[in-house]
Amino acid sequence: MNQSINEKIKDDLEEELYLFNTGEHFDSYLIMGCKQENYEGKVGFRFTVWAPNAKNVGLVGDFSDWHIGIEMERIGKTGCWTVFSEQAVEGQCYKYRIERSDGTVKLKIDPYALEFEVRPNDASIVKDLPKKKWKDGLWTANKKRFSIYERPLNIYEVHLSSWKHHEDGTWYTIPELKDELIPYVKKMGYTHIEFMPLMEHPLDASWGYQLTGYYALSSKFGTMEEFQDFVEAAHLANIGVLMDWVPGHFNRNDYGMVYFDGTPQYEYADKNKAENNRWGTMNFDLGKNQVQSFLISNALYWIEQFHLDGLRVDAVSSMLYLDYDIGEWTPNEDGSNHNKVGVEFIKKLNKKVFERHPDLLMIAEESTAWSKVTKPVHMGGLGFNYKWNMGWMNDTLKFFEMDPLFRKNNFNLITFSFMYTFNENFILPFSHDEVVHGKKSLMHKMPGDRYNQFASLRTLEAYMMVHPGKKLNFMGNDFGQFLEWRIHEGLEWRSLDDEMNAKHLHFMESLNQIYKTERALWEVDHQAEGIQILDVDDAETVLTFIRKGKKPRDFVVVICNFVPVERKGYKIGVPFEGLYEECLNTEMSEYGGVWVKDQGPLKTVKETTDQQDYTIELIVPAMSVLILRPKRIFGVPKN
């Protein structure tokens, strides 16, 4: 290659690589990996890779000898290597030939590659960033108008390749999902789609959580351009798009990032810290500057290049603790188990993301009692703005799986969440983890015969919707699929031929629309002012409360009956005189219950009940949730 071109490349990269090595380059994908360039009229691709302890690095591929390849040159003391090739053409395969200090040679993928071969092949593919002209400016502008905390957030969690299959067993392509999934989500009333990991991974059984290519949409799903078009179409339909992201650990397949240059490069040097035995993966060395540049750039890459509305950050606990589920572990010098570099990395990640995108969702999947997960970094927190409420999910499902006969003696499983629900900004998740590996589907968890199972499932879903916190439901929960989730098959859509499943789907659509309509169910989700507990009756297994919006008139009254016993002449206190109406009765026949009409306008009487000045008397159906809203009330303060 022309010497002047080679020197120009080095000069162009020197300052950028300084930032990369200090952990402060948050767009490192723009300089690393494979990039199309024009040097003095010569058009080709520049390849740049970080391999600080390699003896030599070569570029091998379809455009060069796969055994020897093109020799790459060190860029000073940056630890990086580069070469420019006029022969490289978009769509060709390549790898890096890494000669280690002991003379052994490994062919390695490009950690920054934007595309890979379809499995079982694993080479990186020559590709530059697409230059899309986005049309979702109105969606982006509207996000900035209102705080995310004061908006409805109801997420539909999807595993892309098992949502729906064709008759021949093939899954839907991204363009097909654009035409079917987005209209379905819009009709059902969800606000966001959350995809399980979409990045390149070799094993379906990992569900996408053991990644090899962090910057590449998995080739089995489709192309970058197709996914960009999907997100744009979702935004035009007023649907947000989120994605699971896995910064804690990476795939240990030999051709990937593991011991990339022959030494612990992306992983910790300490084997006890490096090896994630539970997942069969390697843990990123989160204290290493270059790893921070790689990972924070990756988060921003998916947010900015694909216009994602947020990331659900997987396995946060494994980054916070040295001893989290890994077997042998090495404590800190003071004997403590907190991963100090992991904590600082998480804070840095969230600070950098929110500096650029303050309206984004950064959601922690964190299963311990670590405090201030959703508090800003400057207030001593980790800096996320949401956290999955795993405690609420575990207690609630344990309660609902019980025979109703035993529920009154375990009512604390329902009531305990109100002791901590405002400690963090919570999302209430019924996720993929709860309907796999023998745990049964939500429908199958419910006790009793088929009728009672659906009655319990409606009660469960409605209870989630009225409890403080944002919402997440995994695909299949929406129509009461009986079989647990199976990754190699589509959902049991044929179940909708059954009247009960079809009615449950209609129920979920109605419930989601009620949630979006009633401001009281989302406007004051994260402060105690958003709920007033009326009565917690352990003996009757009934829970009643008022959910409140910002304005005094924006409220609903909730009655949760957790056993299959009808309550006649039930009295509940309400704050204002007037008429109330049923917003929801989960036992209506249109949803699969036995009630054919509602109870009509409910008129108050002047009687103190539940510390309220007025009382309504009504029938509470067996195993149900009732939501009452004011129809015509008096004495409401103007402010």
Query: How many angstroms separate the CA atoms of 556 and 632, rounded?
Result: 13
Q: Name residues whose C-beta falls within 8 Å of residue 40's C-beta, 6 or more positions apart in sequence.
A: 2, 4, 5
Question: Please, are residues 539 and 408 in contact by the beta-carbon 8 Å criterion?
Answer: yes
Query: How many angstroms separate the CA atoms of 305 and 294, rounded?
Result: 15
Query: How many angstroms separate the CA atoms of 220 and 227, rounded?
Result: 12
Our answer to whether residue 610 is catalytic in this structure is no
Token couple for 225: 């351009």
The continuous run of DSSP H or E covering 435 comes out as none
Query: How many angstroms separate the CA atoms of 35 and 46, rounded?
Result: 5
Total count of residues recorded for the chain: 639
Q: Name residues whose C-beta falls within 8 Å of residue 34's C-beta, 6 or more positions apart in sequence.
A: 45, 46, 47, 88, 94, 110, 112, 113, 114, 124, 126, 127, 128
Is the bond preceding 429 in cis, omega lying within 30 degrees of 0? no
Query: How many angstroms separate the CA atoms of 588 and 506, rounded?
Result: 11
Our answer to whether residue 12 is catalytic in this structure is no
The catalytically annotated residue of 115, 200, 275, 314 is 314
106: left (phi over 0), alpha (psi -120 to 50) or beta: beta
Query: How many angstroms separate the CA atoms of 84 and 455, rounded?
Result: 65
Please, what's the largest Cα pairwise distance for the chain? 92
Token couple for 388: 């999955």
Rg (CA), the chain: 27
What 3-state DSSP class applies to 259? coil
Q: Name residues whose C-beta falls within 8 Å of residue 574's C-beta, 6 or more positions apart in sequence.
A: 546, 557, 580, 604, 612, 614, 615, 616, 628
Task: Output DSSP code: residue 612.
Answer: B
CA atoms in the 13 A half-sphere facing the CB of 282:
23
Task: Output DSSP code: residue 407.
Answer: G
The catalytically annotated residue of 275, 365, 461, 587 is 365
Q: How distant is the alpha carbon of residue 178 from its chain centre? A: 19
Query: How many angstroms separate the CA atoms of 53 and 50, rounded?
Result: 9
DSSP string, 515-583: HHH-GGGTTT-SSGGGEEEEEEETTTTEEEEEEE-SSTT-EEEEEEE-SS--EEEEEEEESSEEEEEEE
Name residue 603's beta-bridge partners.
579
Question: Please, are residues 159 and 196 in contact by the beta-carbon 8 Å criterion?
Answer: yes
**Type of residue numbered 343:** V
**Type of residue numbered 253:** N
For the annotated catalytic residues, the residue numbers are 314, 365
